[in-house]
Amino acid sequence: MDWTRMRLEEDGRWYAYKDWYARKWSDTKSWAYARRRALVIWLVIVLLLLGYLFQFTTVFHPSRLYSISYQEQVARHNSLVSQKIWQILLPMPKKLKSKPVAFAEPSAWMQMNPGYTYTLFGTEGAVAFLQSRFPRRQDYLETFNELRNPGLKSDFLRYMVLYAEGGVYSDLDTRPEKPIDEWVPTDYETVARLVVGIEYDSLGGDIGKDYTYPVQFAQWTIAAAPEHSVFVNMTERCIRGLHELSEKYSTSLGEINSKDDEVLKATGPVAWTETVFEGIQVQAPELQSISDLSGMKEPTLYGDILVLPINGFGSGLPHSGSARWFTPKEALTTHHSESSWRINS
Ligand SMILES: *[C@@H]1O[C@H](CO)[C@@H](O)[C@H](O)[C@H]1NC(C)=O
């Protein structure tokens, strides 16, 4: 290549160079050296590009290759949590369609938990489920049908599903980090019938503006044995709360403003936190206030309710002492984004 390039140098004069990369080296090093150097630069660029493309293949996703022998799996299931995984995807009303729903690999749930059944509820499946499992509770079905906001519907449905069947409910934007059979510490396997994770902990400081209590339980992931009474109280509470709000604002359930804090509180984590804590206090009256759970380091059992510290379900959060930059070994699931429908509805 015998072309030249002109370049204005610091002394204000124009100089000719054979190649741009030869500029620095031409006095002291040979042209061959400069060419080799260019070759190395190109190689690095090509390798980086290939590396980038490879991330879309399975090579870099070990969870997609997760496998375990069936024998081993069967032998390991000792906890009371049913071998069932539930997720919910309800259609978004057209007017709310502003953000896509975030998915984080539902298949990882199946692959990491052989022996578990997996159900992704849509509206019809949910209605059929409520009809067959709660035939005498028409109000459950009616409330579910009347609600229009998919976030509120999904909140409400998860408690009834876990009551009737047990298992693990998890939002679609979560990723499992450990097989469900390893969630409950061995010592608690024959006792724990409800597993809840802390999602917020003020750690003794001021309570964050989006929170009501110094400690809040997540309801994006819940594990349970069938028929835990906390879910009865929670379901009743949702129905009561929603109807009170629709009366207060003289609207139908379908029209109550689901952006409203009060509405989110009726079915979401605040109501869940209060209901679970009530259940904990029934079994562990020595607990005075929910802030007694603050700063928890190890999974702790209260009666038959197992509470996981922040990193159980809530690693990667920018608060609450959560491990932010890496996934710690005690992480059971990670939550990847806030439910998109909650914000825009
Ligand atoms: C459910 O609510 C009832 C009535 O408020 C209460 O007596 C009971 O202890 C609650 N059960 C649990 C598990 O919290």
pLDDT digits (tens, 9 = 90+) for 103-148: 777 888 998 898 899 999 999 999 999 999 999 999 999 999 999 8
Q: Ligand 1 atom 14: the closest Cα is on which residue?
A: 279
CATH class of this structure's domain 80-335: alpha beta
For the chain, the distance separating the N- and C-terminal CA atoms, rounded to the nearest angstrom, is: 63
Q: Ligand 1 atom 12: the closest Cα is on which residue?
A: 279
Torsion angle of C-alpha atoms 221, 219, 142, 165, degrees rounded to 10: 40
Under 8 Å between Cβ of 237 and 155: no
Residues flanking ligand 1, CB < 6 Å: 229-230, 233, 278-279, 282
- Of 145, 335, 127, 151, which Cα lies nearest the Cα of 260? 151
Q: Residue 163: what pLDDT?
A: 97
Share of the chain above pLDDT 70, in %: 82
> 288: which 2 tokens?
């005075």
* Ligand 1 atom closest to the CA of 232, numbered from 1: 1
Cβ burial of 341 (10 Å; 0-12, 13-18, 19+) is buried
pLDDT tens per residue across span 297-329: 999 999 999 999 999 998 878 788 888 777 788
Max avg pLDDT among 13-27, 189-203, 262-276, 306-320:
189-203
Torsion angle of C-alpha atoms 122, 126, 129, 134, degrees rounded to 10: 170
Report the separation in Å between the CA atom of 283 and the middle of ligand 1, taken as the mean of its atom positions: 11
- Of 76, 148, 64, which Cα lies nearest the Cα of 116? 76
The residues pairing with 308 across neighbouring beta strands, listed in sequence order, are 197
22, pLDDT greater than 60: no
Max avg pLDDT among 22-26, 206-210, 225-229:
225-229
Label residue 205 by pLDDT band (50, 70, 90): confident
Q: Residue 310: what pLDDT?
A: 92
Helix (H, G, I), strand (E, B) or coil at 83: coil
- Of 182, 168, 113, which Cα lies nearest the Cα of 331? 182
172, pLDDT greater than 70: yes
Phi/psi of residue 117, nearest 5 degrees: -85, 150
* Ligand 1 atom closest to the CA of 279, numbered from 1: 14
DSSP letter at 101? Answer: P
Q: Are strands 215-217 and 194-201 parallel, antiparallel or unpaired?
A: antiparallel
Q: Which pTM does this prediction carry? A: 0.78
Under 8 Å between Cβ of 226 and 166: yes
Share of the chain above pLDDT 90, in %: 51
51, pLDDT greater than 90: no
Helix axes 123-133, 138-146, angle to 10 degrees: 160
Q: Residue 300: what pLDDT?
A: 95
DSSP letter at 315? Answer: B
Angstrom distance (rounded) from CA 305 to CA 224: 9
Which of 229, 273, 280 maximizes ligand 1 atoms within 8 Å of its Cβ, making it the mutation to test the pocket?
229
* Residue, of 221 and 68, whose pLDDT is higher: 221
Block residue for tokens 């510290």: 309
